[in-house]
Amino acid sequence: MLKTASPTALTASGHAEGVSNDEFRAAMSRLAAGVVLVTAQEPPLDPDDPDAPGGEDVGMTATAFLSVSLDPPLVLVSLREGSRMDDLLAEQPLWAVSVLAESQRHVAGRFAMKGRISDRLLFEDIPYVRGEVSGAPLVGGALATLECRTEQRVPAGDHTLVIGRVLTARVPSAEGGPLLYFRGRYRQVG
C-alpha cells in the first residue's frame, strides 16, 4: 500500500521542520547558476534643477536571473528585500543586465561585497557604455546585455521577484565562456 506524505509542519521561521538555513543553503549551492550584473541609474535628485547632481549608477551581482517568456520577452531577477537595488527598482522602472564572462570574476566579486564602497567608485575603472533606453551601465566584455522595464514586482519571502520586459538585447562579445556560481564560488565551464 502506497502511503501519502502528510503536510510538513512549519517552524516559526517559516522553514519546514528539520530544514535549517544552513541545510537549505548547502543544498541550493549545488545548483550552478550564471552570474549577471544588474544595473540601474538613480533619477536626478531634482529633475527640475539643471544644476542639481545627477543620480548615481547602482549595480549588484545576481545569480537568481532567468528567462520567463519569449512572447513577450520577459526576464526575472530576485532581489533581497530592502536592498539598495530593490529600493531603486521600486521607483525606477528601467534597468539593465550584463551577462558576465568567465574573465569578469573581479566584476562579480566587486559588486557582491558586503559593506562595499560607493557604487560610483565601483564603476570607476570598469569599461561600460550607457544603455540607449535605460541609461544604465552595460559592462564591456559581457557575453550579452539586456535593457528592461519592470512589468511586475512579486514579494517572495525575504526577496522581491522583479519581472522585466526586455527592451533591447545584444550579444556584444562572442568570446569566452560564462561565469558560473557553484558551491559558494565563482567557476568556469569545463
How confident is the model over 14-23, as pLDDT tens digits? 555 778 888 8
Q: E-strand spans in 22-116?
A: 33-34, 36-41, 57-62, 65-69, 74-80, 94-99
Which of 61, 33, 57, 11 has its CA nearest to residue 189? 33
Mean pLDDT within 66-77: 97
Q: What is the predicted pLDDT for the residue at 101?
A: 95
Q: What is the predicted pLDDT for the residue at 5?
A: 47
At residue 111's C-alpha, the angle toward residues 107 and 113, to 5°, is 120
* pTM of the entire predicted model: 0.84
Quick: pLDDT tens for 129-172: 999 999 999 999 999 999 999 999 999 999 999 999 999 999 98
Instruction: Report the C-alpha gap between 160 and 157 in whole angstroms.
Output: 8
Confidence of residue 49 (pLDDT cuts 50, 70, 90): confident
